[in-house]
Amino acid sequence: METRRVAVTGLGVVSPLGCALDRVWDRLCRGESGIRVIASFDVKDYPSRIAGQIQEFDVDAFIPKKEQRRMDPFCHYGMAAAQLAVADAGIEFSAVDPRRVGVLVSSGIGGLQILQEQTKILFSRGPSRLSPFTIPEMIINILSGMIAIKYNLRGPNFAVVSACATATHSIGEALRMIRHGDADVALAGGAEAPVCELGVGGFCAMRALSTRNDEPTRASRPFDKNRDGFVIAEGAGVLVLEEMEAARRRGARIYCELAGYGRTCDAFHITAPDELGAGAAEGMRLAVADAGLTAADIDYINAHGTSTELNDKCETLAIKAALGEADARRVAISSTKSMTGHLLGAAGAFESVVCALAIARGVIPPTINYETPDPECDLDYVPNTARPAKIRACLNNSLGFGGHNATLCFKAV
């Protein structure tokens, strides 16, 4: 049986750079940062006091007020991104068999804010005052369920949880679902809302976050020698994926093809990456091979690029191991986390949107705040200025706590 190809036909984001696709893309290409001092709670006692928080988002435009009260913010963001992606795709679900549409929109952490809020209520006012929606609001799979309810989508529906690789795994599994005939259309991506006392405090306790509090827009500096940790962020990204021939028949605008997927595990440490980047390298090799390509075909990599000492060094090693020294030095690499911060379980979805737009619009967004080269990070990171480029194929890397690695390969059509 011939393998079915998968088209990317719709993109939706809710992000620290905004929610309107063209505006977000314009800000990325201009190298603007969406990172600010946290305004949603008092941060004076926190070592890290900065985040990529949502901008220009009107939840009322997407979700009725009554329903809003029954959702954690991660669902607000995910529901909105799904609606934006569906509108962008111009797809009418009334014309599609609902049993042939899948949803895999996941989260690395899920309803953290509702967990924090209800825990406070439990210990201050007792169990009788807990909301009956506490559990439904917290669980990670509820977002995929809510999207399905909104659009009456009855195909495969579940959530993948793999920390910072969550959305990338979700998109990859949706690719396989369509390829193997389990669905014809899928909404895939991720959403995260970790910017609260518990989320920021937990990552501060790990000493994982940047403490460049006086310069928030310069704090996230992937691959720069003076990087000091990642910047926590919130948001969502959703892609509409369709079987290629069906998309063409309905006259869909096709951004690119989702052509390859690789996933591996480091089996090394609960938070630190494999020191040689072997697991990430194998994930990249698998994605390239799955797409029927070679290293010479890859023109761009949207790196995981978190701005932590270990990640950036190990990912550099992984790219060299995956592509070979010559192609690793030829390929353009950028980390858009330099502008958005790290969206955790939603990062791979936002960055997949970036990959699709980079192919469609012929521009590679930069890695901003790249000022001092690191001898251990010695590749082309597209420093500070966007670059016009004809991209035949690109990779999107996501590397999660637990050693979970996922890479997607997108190519031009």
**Same domain, yes or no, for 201 and 269?**
no
* pLDDT for the residue 60: 97
Domain boundary among 187, 214, 249: 249
Positions marked catalytic: 164, 304, 342
**Same domain, yes or no, for 169 and 276?**
no
CA-to-CA distance for 176 and 60, rounded, in angstroms? Answer: 34
Q: Is residue 2 in some structural domain?
A: no
Q: Is residue 347 in some structural domain?
A: yes
Q: Is residue 1 in some structural domain?
A: no
**Same domain, yes or no, for 281 and 187?**
no
Residue 134 belongs to domain with CATH number: 3.40.47.10
Domain boundary among 218, 249, 280: 249
Instruction: Give the domain extent around 223.
Output: 7-249
* Orientation angle between helical segments 73-89 and 142-151, nearest 10 degrees: 40
Q: Is residue 338 in some structural domain?
A: yes
Overall domain count for the chain:
2
Q: Is residue 239 in some structural domain?
A: yes
**Same domain, yes or no, for 26 and 143?**
yes
**Same domain, yes or no, for 334 and 223?**
no
- Listed in sequence order, the residues at least 6 apart from 345 whose beta carbon sits closer than 8 Å to its beta carbon are 106, 107, 108, 109, 161, 163, 164, 166, 167, 190, 191, 192
**Same domain, yes or no, for 225 and 293?**
no
* pLDDT for the residue 249: 97
**Same domain, yes or no, for 172 and 267?**
no
CA-to-CA distance for 40 and 57, rounded, in angstroms? Answer: 15
Across the chain, which has 413 residues, the per-10-residue mean pLDDT values are: 88 98 98 97 97 96 95 98 98 95 98 97 97 96 98 98 98 98 98 98 97 98 98 98 98 98 96 93 98 98 98 98 98 98 98 98 98 98 98 98 97 98
* pLDDT for the residue 381: 98
Q: Is residue 300 in some structural domain?
A: yes
* pLDDT for the residue 2: 67
CA-to-CA distance for 58 and 73, rounded, in angstroms? Answer: 12
First to last CA, the chain: 22
**Same domain, yes or no, for 386 and 337?**
yes
Domain boundary among 200, 229, 249: 249
CA-to-CA distance for 371 and 23, rounded, in angstroms? Answer: 26
For the record, the structure tokens of 21 come out as 């696709």
Q: Is residue 255 in some structural domain?
A: no
**Same domain, yes or no, for 388 and 286?**
yes
